[in-house]
Amino acid sequence: MNRQGGLWLFFGALLLACPREILSQSTVCGQKELETALPSNAPVYPEAIALSQTLSKHGVSVKCILLSIMEGTFDGQDRAALYRTDNGDFGVLFLPEPRTFDRLKVIERQDGERYSYRFKGPPRPWPANLIDSSFRMYFIEMRNLLFVVENNQRLAATLAKLVRSDSD
């Protein structure tokens, strides 16, 4: 298995191990978060900070920006960050411009209490191309950004509204 597939298996296992309450709550960033904070020398840092400022202008207060294991999820997408906000937590995948997520298709399937997600690109998804989850996930694209929200419909709706207002 390649590195990307292994990361997604780890990410999926981590999601399955976390209680739903933890994933949907937002907390103030503490020592643990500071240890995994996005370093200023990370390639995604300038974009992550710029997005944080945009979110703030739209009423989403970012508590901290953390490292993400979602780098390399799609072909050419080597930057990602995890945002802890006053509304909840979410990941963001960054594609280098002028590439976008505009043509990405997310295919959701529910089987009982389980959800599975596959992707059809461009951009081309990682080889494993499957997320298996015990809770619903929301994917919101905004040009070269893909927001990934886990088990928080209200936060997903807030981000979708922000994306719509930004594209007007």
pTM: 0.80
What is the predicted pLDDT for the residue at 168? 56
Q: Which tens digits make up the pLDDT trace of 5-62? A: 443 433 443 333 333 333 333 446 787 777 789 999 999 999 999 999 999 998 899 9
Q: State how far the Cα of 87 lies from the Cα of 107, in Å rounded to an integer.
A: 26
Q: Which pair of tokens denotes residue 23?
A: 């994933």
What is the predicted pLDDT for the residue at 121? 83
Strand order in the sheet with 105-111: 105-111, 114-120, 131-133
